[in-house]
Structure formats: C-alpha cells, structure tokens
C-alpha cells in the first residue's frame, strides 16, 4: 500500500509546486475536522525536512491532492469531474 500523498499547488501567477508527503497520522475520526480546518485557514504550512513552507492562500488558484482523504467535510461536493478549461 502506498502511504504517500501528493499535492500540487497552482498559483495565481501561473506557476505550480508539487509536493509529496507521508500519510498523516492521528485519529481517523477527526480527519474530516482537520480537513475543514485546513480549508478554513488563511495559509498552508508544510514541513519539508529542514524547512517550513508557509503559503498564503491568497496566492493560490487551487490545490490538487491525491489520493483524497478517507473522510471529507460535509461541505465537499463528491463525484465531480474536472473538464478542460478554455
């Protein structure tokens, strides 16, 4: 089983950043709450070994993560499909 998670951040200036990280531990019952807290935060903080990246969400167009977390907040629309943008 692959415990790696993949995150691509698409910035409003057209650049992007791809990251990989291990599945995060913790209580699986609190996972949806933690996802909602991350969605509500003004920035995303990621520890990358000897560095801490703090990315203001005001600079982000969107995030793409895979695989999706096992539990998601009720506000997440499920079963969507991304269409090509023009």
Domains within the chain, CATH numbers bracketed: 4-66 (2.30.30)
Query: What stretches of the chain adopt beta strand conformation (E)?
Result: 4-11, 16-22, 43-47, 52-56, 60-66
Q: Show the DSSP H helices in 1-86 as ranges.
A: 31-40
- Residue 73 is encoded by which pair of tokens? 């907040």
Express each pLDDT in 27-73 by its tens digit.
Answer: 777 888 888 898 899 999 999 999 999 999 999 999 999 998 878 88
Structure-derived torsion over alpha carbons of residues 5, 50, 38, 43, reported in degrees to the nearest 10: -130
- Does the predicted TM-score (pTM) go above 0.85? no
Per-residue confidence (pLDDT) for residue 1, from 0 to 100: 61
Report residue 68 CA to chain centroid gap.
9
| Exposed / middle / buried, residue 9 (Cβ in 10 Å: 0-12, 13-18, 19+) | buried
Q: How confident is the model at residue 86 (pLDDT cuts 50, 70, 90)?
A: low
Measured distance CA(73)–CA(35) in Å, rounded? 7
Q: How confident is the model at residue 82 (pLDDT cuts 50, 70, 90)?
A: confident
């Amino acid at each position: 089983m692959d415990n790696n998670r993949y995150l691509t951040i698409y910035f409003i200036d057209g650049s992007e950043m791809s990251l990989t990280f291990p599945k995060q531990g913790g209580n699986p019952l609190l996972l949806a709450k933690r996802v909602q807290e991350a969605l509500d935060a003004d920035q995303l903080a990621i520890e990358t070994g000897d560095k801490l990246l703090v990315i203001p969400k005001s600079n982000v167009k969107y995030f793409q993560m895979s695989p999706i977390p096992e539990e998601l907040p009720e506000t997440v629309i499920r079963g969507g499909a991304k269409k090509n943008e023009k």
